[in-house]
Amino acid sequence: MSTLAQSHTLVKTKPVVAHGGIVFALAPRIKRFFQEAFDPQKSFPVPWQWLEVELLDRDQWEESLYRLRPEVLVTGWGTPALPERYALTDDLPLRYVCHLAGGVKPLVPRRLIERGVLVSNWGNAISYTIAEHAILLVLSLLRNQPAWSDFIDRWHDHRHTFPCEALHTRSLRGKRVGLHGFGVIAREIVQMLRPFRVELSAYSSGVSKSLFHEHDVRQARDLEDLFANNDVIIECEAVNSHTRGVVTERVLRLLPKQAIFVNVGRAAVVDDVALERLVLEGRLFAGLDVHREEPVPWHAPLLTTDRALLSPHVAGPTEDAMRVLCDFAIANLLRFSRSQPIEGMVSLDVYDRTT
Query: Dihedral through CA 63, CA 69, CA 75, CA 77, nearest 10?
Result: 0
Reported as a single tens digit per residue, the pLDDT across 104-116 is 999 999 999 999 9
Taken in order of first residue, the domains within the chain and their CATH numbers are 3-125+320-353 (3.40.50.720), 127-310 (3.40.50.720)
**For residue 355, pLDDT beyond 90:** no
pTM: 0.86
Reported as a single tens digit per residue, the pLDDT across 327-349 is 999 999 999 989 999 999 999 98
Give the gyration radius of the chain's Cα atoms.
Answer: 23
Residues 170/139, Cβ–Cβ less than 8 Å = no
Q: pLDDT confidence of 182, banded at 50, 70, 90?
A: very high
Q: Are strands 232-235 and 308-310 parallel, antiparallel or unpaired?
A: unpaired
Query: Distance between CA 129 and CA 102 in Å, rounded?
Result: 13
**For residue 12, pLDDT beyond 60:** no
Q: Which of 274, 266, 201, 202 is nearest to 240 (CA)?
A: 266
Reported as a single tens digit per residue, the pLDDT across 218-234 is 999 999 999 999 999 99
Query: Distance between CA 129 and CA 321 in Å, rounded?
Result: 8
Reported as a single tens digit per residue, the pLDDT across 231-252 is 999 999 988 889 999 999 999 9
Residue 159's SS3 state is: coil
Distances (CA, A) of 14 to 48, 178, 328, 330: 9, 52, 23, 18
Reported as a single tens digit per residue, the pLDDT across 70-83 is 999 999 999 999 99
**For residue 64, pLDDT beyond 80:** yes
> 230 — alpha (psi -120 to 50), left (phi > 0) or beta?
beta
The pLDDT, as a whole number, for residue 43 is 62
Residue 110's SS3 state is: helix
Q: What is the DSSP letter of 261?
A: E
Query: Distance between CA 291 and CA 19 in Å, rounded?
Result: 41
Q: Which of 263, 242, 251 is nearest to 309 (CA)?
A: 263
Q: Which of 227, 230, 264 is nearest to 247 (CA)?
A: 227
Q: Are strands 284-288 and 308-310 parallel, antiparallel or unpaired?
A: parallel
Query: Distance between CA 184 and CA 59 in Å, rounded?
Result: 36
List, in sequence order, every beta strand (DSSP E) within 71-167. Answer: 72-75, 96-99, 118-120
Residues 313/296, Cβ–Cβ less than 8 Å = no
The string of DSSP letters for 311-326 reads --S-SS--TTTHHHHH
Residues 278/260, Cβ–Cβ less than 8 Å = no
Reported as a single tens digit per residue, the pLDDT across 280-324 is 999 999 999 999 999 999 999 999 999 999 999 999 999 999 999
Q: Across the strands, what pairs with 244?
A: none
Residue 58's SS3 state is: helix
